């Protein structure tokens, strides 16, 4: 049985994301909505886990807009299909960015028939392309040993650059000449946690230090590479079990 194509919806309005989920019979196109994000920053931080084939991205979002997300994402995953959603008064601006590797532009409020037509074309492209998420290299034993040593170099690279909001598995894999799928498995095997967990742990340990110093949350979020405060807040609470303000109040120096 063929796998379902994975769709990601990126929009800072929760109501818009829910509408997109409900508007289309995704099963009919052999698709599933595999994940959502409320900003480009959140999307970049979660794209390696969600592994979408198709992304619907709002052009106007805080911290990282849809076009900035497109640039980062397609630099690492050139076969990713991105459909930009834009308001009417932003449409001409979007079309001027024609050099961007965008599959289609759609004006909000979007019409079901237009979305379905775009999805049909997307399916045709996907059928004719290789699966860039499952692609992997074959390694000899000596190469495996060499890459085990490289994991330590990668750890140090991430420790040095964790505060870069654009860092993700795909970018690091490309930096060191690995496929994303191989590095993901190798990282989990050698470190005991996946790449996103390791990156988040580095960021949260630094955030905890800053919380103890009563640094404002928005500043801490930016300093640790998660400039979207809502996404940062969710990460912090998941890691510590407390909100940033509660943690700072209870643990300030």
The structure tokens 């750890």 sit at 155
pLDDT for 153 beyond 90: no
Residue that terminates a domain, selected from 105, 127, 149: 127
- Across the chain, mean pLDDT equals 84
- Mention every residue, 6+ apart, whose C-beta is less than 8 A from residue 146: none
Say yes or no: 202 and 238 in one domain: yes
Say yes or no: 179 and 248 in one domain: yes
pLDDT tier at 98, thresholds 50, 70, 90: low
pLDDT over 90 for what percent of the chain?
A: 44
Q: CATH number of the domain at 236, please.
A: 1.10.10.60
Say yes or no: 228 and 207 in one domain: yes
**What's the token pair of residue 168?**
């993700």
Domain with 113, as residue range(s), is 5-127
Q: Where are the alpha helices (DSSP H) in 25-140?
A: 40-50, 66-76, 91-96, 112-127
Say yes or no: 13 and 119 in one domain: yes
Q: CATH number of the domain at 27, please.
A: 3.40.50.2300
> Strand pairing partners for 106?
85
Query: Mean pLDDT lowest for which of 5-9, 146-150, 153-157?
Result: 146-150
Using CA atoms, how far apart are residues 232 and 229, in angstroms rounded to an integer?
Answer: 5
Q: Which residue has the higher pLDDT, 168 or 2?
A: 168
pLDDT for 136 beyond 80: no
Say yes or no: 109 and 88 in one domain: yes
Residue that terminates a domain, selected from 94, 127, 160: 127
Task: Describe the strand order of the beta sheet including 104-107 as a list of residue ranges.
Answer: 31-37, 5-10, 54-58, 81-86, 104-107
Say yes or no: 16 and 74 in one domain: yes
* Total domains, the chain: 2
pLDDT for 33 beyond 90: yes
């Amino acid at each position: 049985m063929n796998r379902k194509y994975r769709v990601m919806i990126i929009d800072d309005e929760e109501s818009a994301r829910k509408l997109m989920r409900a508007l289309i019979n995704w099963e009919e196109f052999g698709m599933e909505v595999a994940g959502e994000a409320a900003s480009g920053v959140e999307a970049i931080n979660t794209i390696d886990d969600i592994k979408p084939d198709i992304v619907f991205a709002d052009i106007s979002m805080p911290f990282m807009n849809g076009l900035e997300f497109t640039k980062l994402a397609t630099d690492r995953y050139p076969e990713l299909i991105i459909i930009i959603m834009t308001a009417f008064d932003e449409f001409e601006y979007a079309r001027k960015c024609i050099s961007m590797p965008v599959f289609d532009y759609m004006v909000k409020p979007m019409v079901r028939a237009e979305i379905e037509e775009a999805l049909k074309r997307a399916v045709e492209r996907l059928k004719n392309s290789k699966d860039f998420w499952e692609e992997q290299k074959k390694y000899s034993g000596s190469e495996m040993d060499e890459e085990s040593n490289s994991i330590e170099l990668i750890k140090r690279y991430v420790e040095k650059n964790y505060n870069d909001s654009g860092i993700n598995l795909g970018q690091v894999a490309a930096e060191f000449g690995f496929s994303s799928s191989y590095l993901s498995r190798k990282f989990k095997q050698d470190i005991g946690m996946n790449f996103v967990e390791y990156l988040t742990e580095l960021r949260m340990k630094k955030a905890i230090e800053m919380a103890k110093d009563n640094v404002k949350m928005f500043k801490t979020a930016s300093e640790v590479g998660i400039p979207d405060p809502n996404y940062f807040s969710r990460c912090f609470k998941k890691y510590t079990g407390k909100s940033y303000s509660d943690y700072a109040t209870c643990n300030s120096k």
